[in-house]
Structure 1
Amino acid sequence: MAVRSVPGAGDTTASAALRIWALLFGMAAMLAGNGLQSSLLGLRADVENFGGTVTGLMMSGYFVGFFAGSILTPKLIRRVGHVRTFAALASLASIAILIHSVLVLPSVWTVMRLVTGFSFAGLYVVAESWLNDSASNALRGSLLAVYMIVSYLGLGAGQVMLNVASPDGYALFILCSVVISFALIPILLTAAPQPDASAPSPLSVRALIRISPLGMFGCFATGIANGVILAMAAVYARRVGLDVGGVSGFMVAIVLGGAILQWPIGKLSDLVDRRKVILLTAVLSAVAPIGLHLAASGSLSAFLVAGAVTGGLALSLYPLFLAYTNDWLEPRQMIAASSTLVLAYGAGAIFGPSGVGWLMDRFGPLGFAAYLAAIHVAIALFTLYRMTRRAAPEAQEDYVIGPVQASPTGAYWAEALVEEESDQDSAEESSDRSRGTGR
């Protein structure tokens, strides 16, 4: 059985991150490949005249696979371990993107997107649980922040790679496969021991709805919105007239907006009733897409700024709902609830691309802005309704920066955190008893 590698008492965030640089580097490469292929497929589908409806359904395949992978991967890990699971799924994701370039058919692409989503769900499980297992309680929050910064940088790098070659040919598909395969090397060669393969059972959807109706609805609805942004924003940018370089810049702006705005919005939610921050963010998220669409007829710089604001606001809502739900949970419930909330998000994300694709076929690029606005209006209205039905919680959990793409591993982070807090509490109680008896 592997011995858990935990940073020592004298560790800093920098030294702890340096020790797991292979994991961080591998995840950055993996997200670069994932970000590249998502935008690439949207652009190529538009070039091939798949149509908005077909493209949306095809892009939704990723989230269907992600949803399935969130459920099935922990079982696979328990059977064959983290290393073999990671190697198999990374190879599968690398193969899937190459098949896209060989068989340019909507039906084949939909199946391959499903395979890709399943693979990346498993890759996140392995890498993030491994990262969690390498962190002490004192450094876990700061290491998670480092991980999220690295993730955003990787995702942004993937968007920049769109400029390497034309989406009409094979080169970008090959590059994407190479990047994903390259991510295997540092992670498989790391000396860090494998983490415990056990995973907690999820809290049922019905039980979590009873505990926090707003939290569950919010995670589902933000899944729809984020699915639209992450899967179809490149198609939208192409249809408003941007070239490949403009699409790349637009996607980078969305990612940077998400990275920049999450922190101040999240910290504000720690200081006041979190629902007020959710309501304000949802209202602004409903207005921002309309401003984005109006900016599309202006300068490129104005359009990019509007994209950063639109993406930043929308991508900040999911972690707000996670934090709000945790405000109503007991510490032990957080372990089980995390995976259920991710599944709610994933279920919502399935409906995002398909719905907006249908609207864009009928109303043009305006359908993209209208769909995002409508989703956030619904979030704002339901939040306002719940504020009239329930008082704010007496205490609020600390906000934690959320991922740009939800990953099914929140349970791993929460599990280790609660276990260590429990161990610390037990140690403190034992110490108090010892002092009380004079030993």
Structure 2
Amino acid sequence: MRRRARTLAAEQQQQQQSSDVDQAAPVVGGPALAGRFSRSAALFGGITLLMAGHGLQNTLLGVRAESEGFSSTVAGLVMAMNFAGFLVGAALAPRLLRQVGHVRVFAALASLGSSVTLVQAVFVTPLVWGACRLVWGMCLAALVVVAETWLNELATNRNRGQMIATYMVVTMGSIATGQFLVTTADVNGFTLFAVSSVLVSLALVPMSLSASANPPVVVPEPLSLRAMLQTAPTGVIVAFLVGGALGSISGLGAVYAANRGLTPFEVALFVGAPMIGSLFGQIPLGRLSDSVPRRVVILLAALAAASGCLAMLALDERTVAGLAVMALMGAFAYPIYSMAVAQTNDWLRDEQRASASAVLVRMNGVGALIGPTVAALAMSVTLNAFYLVMAAAHVLIALLVTARIVLVAGPSVDAQGNFLPIPARASAAVAALLRLRR
């Protein structure tokens, strides 16, 4: 009861903040608007630096692992530890925020994350790298929770959708951009590890200087996985499967490309292509899913993504055709999670949506841990397992959605909610944004 009371109080405070800002919005150029704009710029500046450092580190470790002679299986398992850490960090972050506050949590974990990045440059062994990836995943999860909680505070009823869309573009674009920094220095040296560490440390500057208060920590009332599977099984299982597929891209893409003999620049192009493609696929597919039965769009997107994965078996990753297919695959694969969230919300009451989104985040994270692990083990038999595992995940999504379309009538198009593009591992703060907008 006390937890529910705290949650309701936080939600009421958030709604009151949005209402207050909306009432003051007509004062164009006023100090409140200027302050909100400067804090938004600082927030997105910090996210840009953080995610650029994250993207560089992912690609650098994959390329360096191949250079150091790590097997594809060992390198894949090391990279997958990031997702295990992310799950742990996402669970611990709300408690840390309540105990010591947002600024201190962000400062402490950004410093820790920056430090473990340098440790990987000094001790180049699978065991140390695996431990560092686990710690980095924990730090990144908590840092994301801090950033998204401030995003929740800055959003109003007028700009909520725009803020989420901007956050999505900044996140994916920064990760993709950071990957190309791997071409600026020797992957076997210390410099690129230092650059990644500096980027993460610099993210502290705008975030710390712009924070004027600690916004409420959004902790949804628990909703059991069993209840979710009974009410909206499609969204839960799709979130899990697409987590396995996308986790393989971000976790193993650089490892696969390096083992295929691509240069660092070619690795960055290969890993970045699906993320760049995702920026162009989110809105069109989302709007289509608002206009026609949503499950049909998920089915078609899954089939298109699976087809792209299988097509890559016959293409060279160095060619324009190969990169174009990877970009198209990302354009169809990445929006599936956002559509799964929207599909789940179509079956739930308003007060259940924040909790449901938190469940979907966890299921996606579990999939993102299992998918790369399975792919890494299978890549010891054939490198093509990288594509085959992703294709299999999307085929399973298509089969599940087809069965649900045949067996269970979905809501009418008029009864469907609105699509919002959100990152696969967004925190409960973004889930609250989604709920408040409906």
Equivalent-residue separation in structure 2 for 1:100 and 1:4 (angstroms) = 43
Aligned residue in 1 for 2:341: 322
Aligned equivalent of 1:108: 128
Q: Which one of 383, 397, 418 corresponds to residue 379 of structure 1?
A: 397
Q: Does 1:358 align with 2:377?
A: yes
Matches of 1:19 and 1:88 in 2, distance apart? 21
Q: Distance in 2 between matches of 1:145 and 1:415?
A: 15
Other structure's SS at 2:213 match: coil
Letter in 1 for 2:372: P
Alpha-carbon distance in structure 2 between the residues aligned to 1:221 and 1:87 = 34
Secondary structure, in 3 states, of the residue corresponding to 1:137? coil
From the superposition, tell whether residues 39 and 76 of structure 1 become closer, same or farther in structure 2 (CA, over 3 Å).
same
Please give the alpha-carbon distance, in whole angstroms, between the structure 2 residues aligned to 1:319 and 1:93: 28
TM-aligned CA deviation for residue 348 of structure 1: 0.6
2:154 is aligned to 134
Letter matched to residue 411 of structure 2: P
Displacement of 1:284 in angstroms is: 1.0
Separation of aligned partners in 2, 1:250 and 1:105: 25
1:223 lines up with 2:243 in the alignment: yes
Q: Specify the code of the residue in structure 2 equivalent to 1:337.
A: A
How large is the Cα RMSD of the aligned pairs?
2.2
Q: Partners of 1:108 and 1:153 in 2: how far apart?
A: 29
Q: Which residue number in structure 2 is paired with residue 67 of structure 1?
A: 87
* Deviation (angstroms), 1:352: 1.6
Mapped partners of 1:242, 1:127: distance in 2: 35
Following superposition, the deviation at residue 19 of structure 1 comes to 4.2
C-alpha spacing 1:121/1:191, structure 2 compared with 1 (3 Å): closer
SS of residue matched to 2:85: helix
Counterpart residue type for residue 80 of structure 1: V
Instruction: Give the Cα separation in 2 of the matches to 1:186 and 1:103.
Output: 31
CA distance in 1, matches of 2:38, 2:396: 43
* Letter matched to residue 373 of structure 2: S
Are 1:10 and 2:26 matched, yes or no?
yes
Amino acid at match of 1:393: P
Q: Distance in 2 between matches of 1:79 and 1:86?
A: 13
Alignment CA distance shift 1:245-1:414 (3 Å): closer
SS in 2 for 1:113: helix
Counterparts of 2:217 and 2:288, CA distance in 1? 36
Q: Equivalent residue for 1:300?
A: 319
Q: Counterparts of 1:262 and 1:108 in 2: how far apart (Å)?
A: 37
Q: What does residue 415 of structure 1 align with?
A: 432
Which position in structure 1 is the counterpart of 2:42? 22
- Answering whether residue 386 of structure 2 is matched by residue 368 of structure 1, we say yes
Note if 1:80 corresponds to 2:100: yes
- CA distance, structure 2, for counterparts of residue 419 and residue 312 of structure 1: 27
2 CA distance for matches of 1:371 and 1:42?
A: 18
**TM-aligned CA deviation for residue 17 of structure 1:** 4.6
Match of 1:431 in 2: none
Q: State, as a whole percentage, how many aligned pairs show the same letter.
A: 40
Amino acid at match of 1:303: G
Query: Quick one: structure 1 residues 420 and 358, their matched pair in 2 at CA, closer, same or farther if it must change by over 3 Å?
Result: closer
Equivalent residues, number: 416
1:195 aligns with 2:215: yes
Alignment correspondent of 2:141: 121
Give the TM-score, by structure 2 length. Answer: 0.90
Measured against aligned partners, the alpha-carbon deviations of 1:39-98 in whole angstroms (never above 9, x if no partner) come to: 111111111121111111111111101011111110111111111111111111111111
Q: TM-score normalized by structure 1?
A: 0.90
Match of 2:64 in 1: 44
Alignment of 1:144-155 (within 5 A): 144-155=164-175
Query: Is the Cα contact below 8 Å between 1:87 and 1:184 reproduced in 2?
Result: yes
Whichever residue aligns with residue 258 of structure 2, its letter is R
Check conservation: 1:202, 1:338, Cα contact below 8 A: no
Aligned pairs for 1:170-189 within 5 A: 170-189=190-209
Unmatched segments (≥5 aa) in structure 1: 422-439
Q: Are the aligned partners of 2:160 and 2:433 in contact in 1 as well (CA < 8 Å)?
A: no
Deviation string 1:209-259 (CA, Å, 9 cap, x unpaired) is 111111110011111001001111112222333211111122222211011
Q: Does 1:334 align with 2:353?
A: yes
Question: Which runs of 5 or more residues in structure 2 are unaligned?
Answer: 1-9
SS in 2 for 1:363: coil
Instruction: Classify 1:137/1:108 alpha carbon distance in 2 versus 1 (closer, same or farther; 3 Å).
Output: same
Return the letter of the residue paired with 1:350.
L
Separation of aligned partners in 1, 2:434 and 2:63:
41
SS in structure 2 of the partner of residue 362 of structure 1 = coil
Q: Is the 8 A contact 1:229 1:311 kept in 2?
A: no
1:349 paired with 2:355, answer: no
- 23-32 or 48-57, which deviates more: 48-57
- Cα contact 1:266–1:401 (8 A) shared by 2: yes
1:392 aligned to 2:410?
yes
Cα distance in 2 for partners of 1:118, 1:107 equals 17
Cα deviation code 1:362-417 (max 9, x no counterpart): 112x11111111111111111111112211113111100122x522x1x3234356
Q: Specify the code of the residue in structure 2 equivalent to 1:318.
A: Y
- 2:390 partner letter: L
Distance 1:420 1:388 in 2: 31
Aligned residue number for residue 422 of structure 2? 402
Deviations 1:146-196 (A, max 9, x none): 222222221122011111112111111111000000000100010442201
Give me the whole-angstrom Cα distance separating, in 2, the residues matched to 1:220 and 1:11.
Answer: 45
**Match of 1:162?**
182
1:285 aligned residue: 305
Given that 1:4 and 1:195 are in contact with CA atoms closer than 8 Å, whether structure 2 keeps it comes out as: no
Return 150-159 or 192-201, whichever deviates more. Answer: 192-201
Cα pair 1:43 1:167 within 8 Å, conserved: yes
Partner SS, residue 361 of structure 1: coil
Q: Could you tell me how far 1:11 is from its partner in structure 2?
A: 7.5
